[in-house]
Structure 1
Amino acid sequence: MKHFIKENKGLAIYSFFIVFATYGIKLFNNTYAIDTMHLMTNYRGYLKHWVSIGRPGLVALKLLTYNYVNVYFLNLLAIIFFAIATILLCYYVDLSTKQIYNKKYLYIIPSIFPTSQLFSEQFYFVLQNFEFSLGICLVILSLIAIYHIPNKIFKLFGFLLLTFTLTMYQSFFVFACTLVLFKILMTLYFAQLNDLKISFKDYAFKIGHFILLAISSLVLSQLMAMLAKKVLNVESSYLDNMILWGKRPLIDSINDIKDYAKELFFPPVGDTFFTPLFLICVLLLVIVLINMSYLKRKNVFFIFITLLGILITPLMFTILGGKRPAIRGEVPNFPAVLALLLIFIMIYWGYNFVLKHLLVGIVILFTFIQVRETTNLEYSEYLTAEEDLRTAEMITNNIYSMEIENPESYKLLMYGNRSPRNVSNIKGETNGVSLFEFMPNSVHTSLNTLLYMKTFGLNFNDPTPEDFEKHKALQAEMNVWPSKDSIRVVDDCIVVNLSK
């Protein structure tokens, strides 16, 4: 690794630069996620929640910053380790090629991988970002130990480390599968370059080893998660709504898979998170395979099967769950798929002057698009957080201006919700969504907002569902905040009407 960095100083500098340029705004704002308030106000309880959804590894890493909720410092750590993860991915690719190639092709990885808009959805969860970035590093290091260090002790350590990472985020499993398949792909390709035919037995052994590694690490990680739940006496809640096969009409699940596949391959013009780059990669791969077949190269069928496996990984959660997955579940895998496929295509066509420069143009174009869109998403989230803070302050000021005696002794009820008004708002699944509209009903919106306000020292008592039922008729009579008569005091409750 030290030798790799020494030979590729420009690559390392570029990786840090593009990561800081894309996510640097996080170093200068106090954006709060939906989970931030829970960690600030109920740290132990929220860690148990993570255990209940199968993430004891994430809880274990939280011990590194236990009960520490300084979003500025944690964002700095997240960005640094995300840049390190990008460099590690370059190193893994370099190890997987096994042959001399143009090292400049590695610049594709920091250009395409960390700049993806999809990461903005994951990085919305401010107090998980450091662990997420560190987790990516650990996945790559585990596979380097398994596949590129001959020492058996290191291989065992790599396997255990990989197993541990799967108890952090389930998306790491798909990411690891993609990295292993890429190594197999490069082995097949360089055997082809050397006019060596890989037998079916040899290929089956490679795939069998991959499947055995995937299944054994996944099973062991689930056993570790179950043990953590047992020891901490926590009930499992992860699979409640994750797998919908058999819980709704079959045609609905099939349609979800079809629609999501269509979104990946043919994203609508102006789509927030997906670009035509995936489709471009597929078309270029088809041309590569046709060219290989025309030239009667060896191992073409095995290369096709391996590429198919890589292309299917972004659909894995959709197929397993029978529903459209959360966008953040696609990271870090989907951006890695794009970067790795472009690396393979570039290595294959690198000898062709025209095609090589066409690919360089494609990479530059989509790097610009991704950086632009991701920075816009991060700026949108920053302004939305600022707007939420101003809204909370204005509501509190309105209440105190009513000259209520000891207003903090009252329960605060908020009916309806309030969407962001700022002109730069871009809504994703979580990114750009106001804390005043995040929850499905008024009860949860109020409780969520009260938690948020308490982190700034704005304290009111929590309402009950019965309070909301008792006073819900007032909503029709009241104006919408911030208009006059949008806040009323009734008994021991302060009622705020956010929308009709």
Structure 2
Amino acid sequence: MGENMINESQKFLNFLKKKRKAVSFLFAVTLLLYLPMLTNFSYSIDSEAVVDNSKDLLFSWLTIDRFGLVALKKFFLFGLDLNPYFINTLTYLLMAFSAVILLYIIDQLIQTTPWIPLLAVTLYLVSPIHFEQNSFVLQSVEVMIGFNLMFVGMIALGMPGNKVSPKRLIFGMLFLTASFSIYPSIVIGASTLAIIILHLHELNKPFATFSVYFRHLVRYIALILSSLLTYVALDQIIKYFAHAPKNSYIQTAWGHMDTSLLMQIALAKFKQFFIFPNQPFELSVVTYLAVVTFALVLIMGLIRKQIRWTILLDIIAEYILVLSLLILLGNMIGPIRSLTPTVPLVMIVYSLTVMTMMPNKRLLLVVGMSFSIFALMLSKTTSDLEQSFIISYENEVKFSDKIVTSVQELGINNFDQYRLVAGELGNIPAT
């Protein structure tokens, strides 16, 4: 008999009781790190658009294939006004909860020292890429809902070796479809999490043969692809009835530029973001970790005379998924915020692999301390980005108030009859 979601829900509740200290730690880290945003009243990208004309903004989102985002935003627009305090609070609560779900997934797959999975998930939680995503307050809550829906959907599809009922599979696919409709790059995140689930399962209990591994891989591909096709079909139907035109928000450069030139650009972007040290998002660390993880698995396999080829394939696949937007677009890596949850998820699995494969406790403690220091570095970067965001907003407000005051001093109070033109005359700024 297939396992149903009621049983899974009970397992999750038991997990929360068993791991309440770890869960409390994740929420505490979220509260401490993101407290400036939780107590901050600031707008961001396109915020004035939803205040002045939400209908046009929502329609523009519909044209870029985000009907789920439109539906959720319509729901959250109830009330008197756009409320950044409410948005930020709910956003970071949902983010902390997504970290708890990830810890639950890891707990189902590997048995190891409790602090190892907690440290790995902390790396996910403090990633500055999350702040880049969540500082876009117009969609931060909705995107975090999308992350949680995707994580729950992957749980519903079942862990390797567990039989699940057809109803549960449908439930999982619907959750995936809903998450894709909120933020399409979650498709890459779901694909990444599927590989990670296989990877973690193999760390604990290797598959008997490559064909068994391949069968599980094909199953996940089929279910995620079915969810993607369902999303695409619904998107086309909704856009047809809404008369929403096609929007080339992000377009691949392949076929629009000389191939050799484009490959040079792609290589340059790869080096810039994924090889050379870069601030503030440190994407190059993913490359270094991928190399270290691959080498460690290979060396340990040679020492133990049992190379885990499928784990090596997983490491390569996970890294390719990190680069997938660059591969698809050719001339750019896309908006940085679109790299989440993929990059933080890959950081989890690489760090887990390195720590669980340490041959003795002394080495494990050294590696654990190294990852702890890295987590602190990421936290500092995220905190710096928060402060920069808040200061920029405050400076913009002061500048706006200065303009209003200057206009009022001219005896103009009815602003509706005038248009503001901003520019420069020589070296003298005009307001």
- TM-score normalized with structure 1 length: 0.78
What's the counterpart of residue 365 of structure 1? 373
| In 1: Cα distance, 2:340 partner to 2:369 partner | 25
**Which of 217, 220, 245 is the matching residue for 1:235?**
245
- 1:50-129 residue pairs with structure 2 within 5 A? 50-68=61-79, 69-97=82-110, 100-129=111-140
Q: Which amino acid aligns with 2:216?
A: K
Question: SS at 2:101's partner residue?
Answer: helix
What's the counterpart of residue 152 of structure 1? 166
Higher normalized helix content (fraction of residues): 2
- Aligned: 1:40 with 2:48: no
| In 2: Cα distance, 1:312 partner to 1:294 partner | 27
What's the counterpart of residue 232 of structure 2? 222
1:260-308 CA distance string (max 9 Å, x none): 3324443336x2111653244223311222211332115x222211111
Question: SS at 2:266's partner residue?
Answer: helix
| In 1: Cα distance, 2:418 partner to 2:262 partner | 46
What's the counterpart of residue 3 of structure 2? none
1:382-404 CA distance string (max 9 Å, x none): 01000000000001111111234
Contact in 2 for aligned 1:244/1:322 (Cα 8 Å) = yes
Contact in 2 for aligned 1:101/1:347 (Cα 8 Å) = yes
Contact in 2 for aligned 1:167/1:221 (Cα 8 Å) = yes
| In 2: Cα distance, 1:135 partner to 1:96 partner | 23
Distance change (3 Å), C-alpha of 1:143 and 1:241 = closer
1:363-422 CA distance string (max 9 Å, x none): 111111011010110110001000000000001111111234745421111126xxxxxx
Contact in 1 for aligned 2:146/2:178 (Cα 8 Å) = no
Cα displacement (A) at 1:253:
2.6
- Aligned: 1:136 with 2:128: no
What's the counterpart of residue 295 of structure 1? 304
Question: SS at 1:42's partner residue?
Answer: helix
- TM-score normalized with structure 2 length: 0.90
- Aligned: 1:5 with 2:28: no
What's the counterpart of residue 212 of structure 2? 202
| In 1: Cα distance, 2:236 partner to 2:360 partner | 53
- 1:259-298 residue pairs with structure 2 within 5 A? 259-268=268-277, 271-274=279-282, 277-285=285-293, 286-297=295-306
Question: SS at 2:205's partner residue?
Answer: helix
Contact in 2 for aligned 1:245/1:321 (Cα 8 Å) = yes
> What percentage of aligned pairs have identical amino acids?
23
Q: Which amino acid aligns with 1:228?
A: I
What's the counterpart of residue 428 of structure 2? 479
What's the counterpart of residue 9 of structure 2? none
| In 1: Cα distance, 2:20 partner to 2:150 partner | 23
Distance change (3 Å), C-alpha of 1:395 and 1:118 = same
What's the counterpart of residue 380 of structure 1? 388
Q: Which amino acid aligns with 2:212?
A: D
Distance change (3 Å), C-alpha of 1:43 and 1:189 = same
**Which of 389, 397, 410 is the matching residue for 1:389?**
397
What's the counterpart of residue 417 of structure 2? 409
Distance change (3 Å), C-alpha of 1:249 and 1:323 = same
Question: SS at 2:305's partner residue?
Answer: coil
What's the counterpart of residue 422 of structure 1? none
Return 80-89 or 244-253, whichever deviates more.
Answer: 244-253
Contact in 2 for aligned 1:188/1:198 (Cα 8 Å) = no
Distance change (3 Å), C-alpha of 1:23 and 1:240 = closer
Contact in 2 for aligned 1:18/1:110 (Cα 8 Å) = no
Distance change (3 Å), C-alpha of 1:58 and 1:405 = closer
What's the counterpart of residue 181 of structure 2? 167
Distance change (3 Å), C-alpha of 1:260 and 1:187 = same
What's the counterpart of residue 441 of structure 1? none
What 5-or-longer segments of structure 2 have no aligned partner?
A: 1-11
- 1:385-464 residue pairs with structure 2 within 5 A? 385-404=393-412, 406-415=414-423
Between Structure 1 and Structure 2, whose CA radius of gyration is higher? Answer: 1
Distance change (3 Å), C-alpha of 1:226 and 1:275 = closer
| In 1: Cα distance, 2:283 partner to 2:331 partner | 21
Bigger relative contact order (CA 8 A; separation at least 6): 2
Question: SS at 2:420's partner residue?
Answer: strand
| In 2: Cα distance, 1:246 partner to 1:265 partner | 24
- Aligned: 1:23 with 2:37: no
Superposition CA RMSD, Å:
2.0
Contact in 1 for aligned 2:109/2:204 (Cα 8 Å) = no
Contact in 2 for aligned 1:51/1:59 (Cα 8 Å) = yes
Question: SS at 2:138's partner residue?
Answer: helix
Q: Which amino acid aligns with 1:369?
A: M
Contact in 1 for aligned 2:286/2:343 (Cα 8 Å) = no
What's the counterpart of residue 420 of structure 1? none
1:19-49 CA distance string (max 9 Å, x none): 1222211122222112211111111221111
Q: Which amino acid aligns with 2:235?
A: A
Contact in 2 for aligned 1:96/1:187 (Cα 8 Å) = yes
Q: Which amino acid aligns with 1:354?
A: R
Question: SS at 2:85's partner residue?
Answer: helix
**Which of 266, 280, 284 is the matching residue for 1:257?**
266
| In 2: Cα distance, 1:184 partner to 1:407 partner | 61
| In 1: Cα distance, 2:285 partner to 2:138 partner | 31
Question: SS at 1:113's partner residue?
Answer: helix
Return 400-409 or 168-177, whichever deviates more.
Answer: 400-409
Cα displacement (A) at 1:176:
0.8
Q: Which amino acid aligns with 1:227?
A: I
Cα displacement (A) at 1:211:
2.1
